[in-house]
Amino acid sequence: MGGIIGERKEKKVLEKDVLGCLLNSKDYKGQVLTDDQVADNVIGTLFAAQDTTACAMTWIVKYLHDNPKLLEAVKAEQKAIQEVNGRDGNDNAALNWSQTRNHMPFTHKVVLESLRIASIISFTFREAVADVEYNGYLIPKGWKVMPLFRNIHHNPEYFSEPHKFDPSRFEVVPKPNTFMPFGNGVHACPGNELAKLEMLIFIHHLVTKFRWEVVGSESGTQNCPFPVPMNGLPARFWKQVPSS
């Protein structure tokens, strides 16, 4: 990273990508970020954005594989969209925004249920900025508090049969503060909508173009640091021949 600041002075760095924004950003005193701060932010974003979404997608592949009836329902929904896009004879017509927002209600519930069960980020930290009394306990100012999202997501009081993969439970909106795969409050995930969009697009292409078989998967979960199936999810994929 040694040369970035030097080069910044000579070249106008692109502003439209993440690295460009970081290299060009200035604080209220007009100070740019140091190379270490730029590197920290790039690594942080990769960690927060890429690994989380990749883990979520791994679980989606597993849950759909393990629940053939749900897979069929997702396929039906996605094939209907594919058919509409192929009507003009163009099999490769791209998905559009409205289709991802309005024509994937079941797939969307599959995404939410995957996020609930897998609880990719299972907890966060907050610091009490004032004394707080909660349920007869005093949390003194300055103490750290660790909300455990996974415990809330797996609490049968909020989600009946919490270990059952059941996307239909999202036909009813969960009670406030019981479903927080992207956290909550000022530090809630800014990539929330992007991540869900990526998952919908991924599922569309996965189920309309491929069939797959999980080979030799093991039960259990491994945290590296986000949860993935134990020893990964070895799978074989076949490209489907488009139906005439």
User: Measured from the CB atom, is 175 or 187 closer to ligand HEM?
Assistant: 187
CB neighbour class for 14 (10 Å; exposed up to 12, middle 13-18, buried from 19): exposed
* Span of 23-31, 64-72, 77-85, 187-195 interacting with ligand HEM by CB under 6 A: 187-195
Which residue from 101, 141, 164, 187 is in contact with ligand HEM, where contact means CB under 6 A?
187
Q: Name the token pair of 58.
A: 């791994």
55 is known to lie in a ligand binding site: no
Specify the DSSP element, H or E, that contains 146.
Answer: none
Report whether 100 contacts 119 (CB < 8 A): no
Q: Quick check: 56 binds ligand HEM (CB under 6 A)?
A: yes
Which of these segments, 46-54, 150-158, 213-221, 230-238, binds ligand HEM (CB under 6 A)? 46-54
- What's the half-sphere exposure (Cβ side, CA atoms, 13 Å) at 20? 7
Ranges of H-type helices in the chain? 4-10, 18-24, 35-45, 52-66, 68-86, 97-102, 105-118, 149-153, 192-209
Is there binding between residue 49 and ligand HEM (CB under 6 A)?
yes
**CB 226 → ligand HEM: shortest distance, Å?**
8
Neighbours of 111 (CB within 10 A): 24
When asked if residue 121 is in the footprint of ligand HEM (CB under 6 A), the reply is: yes
Tell me: does residue 225 bind ligand HEM (CB under 6 A). Answer: no
Among 60, 110, 169, 181, binds ligand HEM (CB under 6 A): 181
Tell me: does residue 25 bind ligand HEM (CB under 6 A). Answer: no
- Residue of the chain from 38, 52, 67, 117 that contacts ligand HEM (CB under 6 A): 52
